[in-house]
Amino acid sequence: MKNINFVNALTRKQQYSLRRWWLLSWIVAGSVIIVAGVLHGLQLHQWYVLTAERATLQQEVDDMRSALNTHESLRKMQQALQQKKVKSDRIRQSLASMRARLTDITAACAASQLETCKWHKNAVEIVLGCKDALCATQCVGQLQKVKGLGSIRLVSLSPRENGMVLATMKAQLEKV
């Protein structure tokens, strides 16, 4: 005999099924949330570690970049100094060679009196006070023996007081 029921409620079986599904849904939802949380937590942890590592590496990169800039500027400075050194060495060397030539010239002209010695770029003009023209010619011969002087020639002879002769000579400078 069927019942007369004034309410249209879910049956006991349906309600128990509903309760089971409700419970199961909660368990599944909770599990999903926990798993998602764990996975996201791992990713966040990894992100945090990588960020910290990146910050450290960035600091090192910055240090290295500044060191590289310093190295570059120092290299340029060294290059400039090297150029200056080369230039000064060349000048020093030219001065030394000039002094040596001057010494040789002085030694070669010991019999006469050296008045002036003008140095040009590739030539030198020597003015000597000689006793006579012969002495001047002898000086030319002596000067021809000096290393670094070439094409020496007697340019002029002009008399001076006390019977002296002012001899002007020109010579080409040669590289030693």
Partner 1 sequence: MWQPPYHDDRLVTINFYPHAMSCSIIERAWTVAPFIVQAYQRFAFKNLELENLMVFNPTAVGRLVHTFLKKHRAQDAFVACSLRGPQLFERYVTVNSQTPQASDFVLPELKTLVWDYRYAYPIDHGKSVCYVAGLPHAVITQYQLFAIQTQLHMTILMPEQMALLQVYRYQRGLTFRRTQLAVDMLQHHNMVDYLCNTDTLGRILHVPNHLVLDRAHEVGPLLAACGLFISEGVDDEKY
Where along the sequence are the contacts to partner 1 (CB under 8 A)?
Answer: 1-7, 9-13, 15-16, 19-20, 23
- Hey, what are 55's tokens? 């910050």
Residue closer to partner 1, measured from CB, 20 or 118: 20
Please tell me what DSSP assigns to residue 161: G
Please tell me what DSSP assigns to residue 11: P
For residue 139, which of 148, 125, 129, 147 has the smallest C-alpha distance? 129
What does the alpha-carbon distance between residue 30 and residue 19 come to, in Å, rounded to a whole number?
A: 16
Residue closer to partner 1, measured from CB, 24 or 91: 24
Tell me the closest approach of the beta carbon of residue 29 to partner 1, in angstroms: 17
Residue 158 contacts residue 133 (beta carbons within 8 Å): no
Residue closer to partner 1, measured from CB, 16 or 48: 16
Tell me the closest approach of the beta carbon of residue 2 to partner 1, in angstroms: 6
Sign of CA dihedral 75, 77, 79, 85: negative
Residue closer to partner 1, measured from CB, 22 or 119: 22
Tell me the closest approach of the beta carbon of residue 24 to partner 1, in angstroms: 10
Tell me the closest approach of the beta carbon of residue 15 to partner 1, in angstroms: 7
